[in-house]
């Protein structure tokens, strides 16, 4: 089994990691950590470093738990949900686990939500953790 964990740039959500460890152990799964940055003039070197640090931190947690893990930082000029969905399809993920933030209806309508768009469009089960 393959589990994809979507990690917001530089933000490792502990509840997401905890659930992913449970699922990975239960299903004898390999974990793929993914962060997507737009790149170009809108992404600073500091943001890239912060994202890399967060991915290495999360990878260390999985390694300590004895779970096979890879991390991926995508900087391809695409929206994060596109990167997550394409990576999931290309690598035949069995499950996606992501954090969900509470947002107002107006906030969702105006800005949308990466998590919401992934949950609606993914070709595999998506687990949302709040």
CATH number for the domain including 111?
3.40.50.620
Reported as a single tens digit per residue, the pLDDT across 5-62 is 998 876 778 999 999 999 999 999 999 999 999 877 778 889 999 999 999 999 999 9
pLDDT digits (tens, 9 = 90+) for 47-94: 999 999 999 999 999 999 999 999 999 998 889 999 999 999 999 999
Enclosing domain of residue 34: 2-129
* Count of domains forming the chain: 1
Read out DSSP for the chain? -EEEEE-BTTB--HHHHHHHHHHHHHHT-EEEEEEEE--GGGS-HHHHHHHHHHHHHHHHHHHHTT--EEEEEEESSS-HHHHHHHHHHHTT-SEEEEE-----HHHHHHH--HHHHHHHH-SS-EEEE-
The answer to whether residue 112 scores a pLDDT higher than 80 is no
Report yes or no on whether pTM surpasses 0.95: no
């Amino acid at each position: 089994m393959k589990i994809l964990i979507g990690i917001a740039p530089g933000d490792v959500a502990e509840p997401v990691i905890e659930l992913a460890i449970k699922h990975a152990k239960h299903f004898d799964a390999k974990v793929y950590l993914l962060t997507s940055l737009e790149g170009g003039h809108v992404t600073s070197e500091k943001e890239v470093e912060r994202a890399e640090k967060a991915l290495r931190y999360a990878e260390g947690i999985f390694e300590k738990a004895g779970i096979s893990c890879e991390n991926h930082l995508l900087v391809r000029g695409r929206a994060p949900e596109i990167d997550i969905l394409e990576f999931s399809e290309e690598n035949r993920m069995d499950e996606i686990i992501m954090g969900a933030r509470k947002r107002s209806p107006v906030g969702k309508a105006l800005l949308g939500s990466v998590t919401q768009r992934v949950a609606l469009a993914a070709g595999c089960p998506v687990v949302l953790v709040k």
